[in-house]
Structure 1
Amino acid sequence: MIASTRPTPRKRALTAAGAAAALTLALAACGSSADSSHDSSMPGMHHGGSASPTTPAGHGSSMSGMPGMGRSVTGDGLTDSVEGYRFTSPDATLKAGRAAPYRFTITGPDGKAVTRFAPEQTKRMHFYAVRSDLTGFQHLHPTMAPDGTWTAEPAALAPGSWRMFASFTPGGGSGEGEDFVLSRTVTVPGEATSAALPPAAHSTRVDGYTVTVSGEPMAGMPHPLAVRITKDGKPVTDLQPYLDTYAHLTAFHRGDAAFAHLHPTTTAHGDHGGPGLSFHADLPTAGDWRLFLQFRTGGKLHTAALTLRVG
């Protein structure tokens, strides 16, 4: 696999400036109602808090000072090794229907376990378990032992093929300050039933909230996405900070499950976020992407999912 080329500081600045200008237009259109809506309460959704069973499914913004802005991710997450960094695990299978720990290690170009990681959105490691048909999703923050062994605690997984993603930034070595995402597949034995994804739509519902996404991203081009959250037709203004911002947004490509992290550009100030949120999207491939938006209200984490068409 060929790693992606990281932009120069000048190119980053130009990209951010262009995205900021486009973002103003996108946010202006964000208040309009969506033309279609689907329920995102799909079985298999897990918020990264307490465990729950999974089964197959179905105010202002700023580009500066936000975690991850102006940074590129090396790779699309579809390999276990990039630039000498390798994702290894002794766990090739996990039992269905019950929670089970998943152990893994990140080794560096010297072959030794990496133990120094820089926080990205307050966490040294972001771990995702994603079912091959994108109907199961878990976002977790594992713990690391002194020897560099990480342990994630996914909730019960449905039978089928799952891809485990590790998203991290080395705190030293040749990859210091560079964002990596690596993955390995895991088989959960049992009778697996695939489900079709809901069609592309501009809005979805979860836990009584309506999440609307505005923006028409093109493959391989940085583009702003605007998100608006309402409840019972009224704007939501009590979003609480989650991972140093008001929402976390991750995308996976339909067909191969390629990974993309859409960086937030809305600054968090207290427990009164919303209703508008903004993200910097750079989706490399055309087609359908499954978006998972996580946000917190009243101490509860919600996960909304919708399918986005990228031209």
Structure 2
Amino acid sequence: MNTAARLSLFTLGLLGVFGAALLVGRYVVPNQTGSSGHAAHSSSTSTEANSNRGHGNDSADPAMGTTSTVGGYGLTDLRGPSAPGLAAPLSFTVTAGDGEPLSRFTPAHDKELHLIVVRSDGAHYAHLHPTRDGAGTWSTTWRAPAAGSYRVVTDFVPGDRDGDEPVVLSSTVEVAGQFDPSTPTPSRTATVDGFTVTVDGDLGPHGTSMLTARVRHAGQTVRLQPYLGALGHLVVLRAGDLAYTHVHPRQDATAGTDVAFGATAPSTGRYFAYFDFQIDGVVRTAAFVLDTHH
């Protein structure tokens, strides 16, 4: 066989291989719009929500608190301190579907809006309650303890609609300087100002998990005081994307010791948990690192 004939056969072989590959790709590669049949959203916030899933995510449920817009509500004009150690206003606006500042909020746990600030590695958590001015701008004074990227999460119930389901929005504030990330390890016990705080129960992605927080001092169980309408408050964030987790206190007694919570995690993986509690008029926060189970 001469050289020209060999080249012709080789070319035909390559065409056959590429044709087969195209057919395989046409019928084997999964549809990227998802198995539910809904097309992927075109907005940047939906893209961010999909790209911000944390480690070990095996759930199709959307993660809360990873985007700045949800259901027509938006977190805009976020400003904060640009350097660590600087006490300065942390301010933002919550907008409604028409783009104007939302003016009606339904109080939840005694506040119109709860503000969570935490660094990307789970360190330097703060639960704040800003105030709103006549123009619709929320603000509070905040001091960044160290440099890094801080997630700012707003949790509120809009007053312009029925129901008490909260809307959770988030954005970030960048604090300049040398960022020295922490490396958290699983922990169910924390010591705060001489108080030993433990959390019991397994956090899982399937259904509601029960978590119980207990506070002791010198080995004795401590009676907690009500804080924001409950004996304590638990915030749970997924490591990696800091996705927000639904957590509800199971008892709202006027005084007591153990505090039970029902929590639903969006996926398996590692989570940061923060328990706010009040004793003798002082509010303290205990931080934990929990790993979920299938």
TM above 0.5: yes
Q: In the TM superposition, what is the alpha-carbon distance from 1:144 to its structure 2 partner?
A: 0.2
Unaligned runs of 5+ in 1: 5-73
Contact 2:81/2:88 (8 A) holds in 1:
no
Give RMSD over aligned pairs: 2.1
* Paired position in structure 1 for 2:243: 258
> Match of 2:120?
132
Task: State the AA in 2 paired with 1:124.
Answer: E
1:296 maps onto 2:256 in alignment: no
Q: Does the 8 Å contact 2:81/2:143 carry over to 1?
A: no
Change (3 A) 1:176 1:103: farther
Aligned to 2:82: 94
8 Å CA contact 1:127–1:152 kept in 2: the answer is no
Please show how residues 10-25 of structure 1 align to structure 2 within 5 Å: none
Contact 2:250–2:261, Cα closer than 8 Å, also in 1: yes
Shift of the alpha carbon at 1:93? 5.9
Q: Which whole-Å deviations, capped at 9, do the CAs of 1:231-273 have from their partners, x for residues lacking one?
A: 1111112x1110101101101111111112421112221xx42
Corresponding position of 1:18: none
Q: Does 1:273 align with 2:259?
A: no
Look up the match of 2:166: 179
Contact 1:100/1:156 (<8 A) preserved: no
1:211 is aligned to 2:193: no
2:225 matches 1:243: no
Residues 201, 211 of structure 2: 8 Å contact kept: yes
State the AA in 2 paired with 1:277: V
Task: Note if contact 2:212-2:260 (Cα within 8 Å) is conserved in structure 1.
Answer: yes
Task: Mark the CA change 1:97 to 1:279 in structure 2 (over 3 Å): closer, same or farther.
Answer: same
Match of 1:308 among 264, 286, 290: 290
| Kept after mapping to 2: 8 A contact 1:240/1:246 | yes
Q: 1:17 is matched with which residue?
A: none
Alignment deviations for residues 169-221 of structure 1 (CA, whole Å, 9 cap, x no partner): 10114x76331110111110111111111x21332221111112111121142
8 Å contact 1:140–1:153 — kept in the other structure?
Answer: no
**Counterpart in 2 of 1:225?**
211
Q: Quickly say closer, same or farther: Cα 1:93–1:232, change in 2 above 3 A.
A: closer
TM (norm. structure 2) is: 0.76
Q: Contact 1:221 / 1:284 at 8 angstroms: preserved in 2?
A: no
Moved more, 100-109 or 253-262: 253-262
Distance in 1, matches of 2:287 and 2:237, equals 11
Indicate the residue corresponding to 2:186 in structure 1: 200
Contact 2:130–2:139 at 8 Å: present in 1 too?
yes
Amino acid at match of 2:271: W
Aligned to 1:81: 69
Alignment match, 1:61: none
Give SS of 1:100's match: strand
Gaps of 5+ in 2: 1-45, 50-61
Q: 1:308 corresponds to which letter in structure 2?
A: L
Query: Where in structure 1 do 4 or more consecutive aligned residues deviate above 6 Å?
Result: none
Q: Is the 8 A contact 2:81 2:142 kept in 1?
A: no
- Residue 87 of structure 2 aligns to a residue whose secondary structure is coil
Question: Take 1:132 and 1:145, find their aligned partners in 2: how far apart are those partners?
Answer: 29
- Residue in structure 1 matched with residue 134 of structure 2 by the alignment: 146
Taking structure 1 as the reference length, what is the TM-score of the superposition? 0.72
Q: Which has the higher contact order (CA 8 A, sep 6+)?
A: 1
* Pair 1:116-2:110 in alignment: no
**How many residues are paired up?**
236
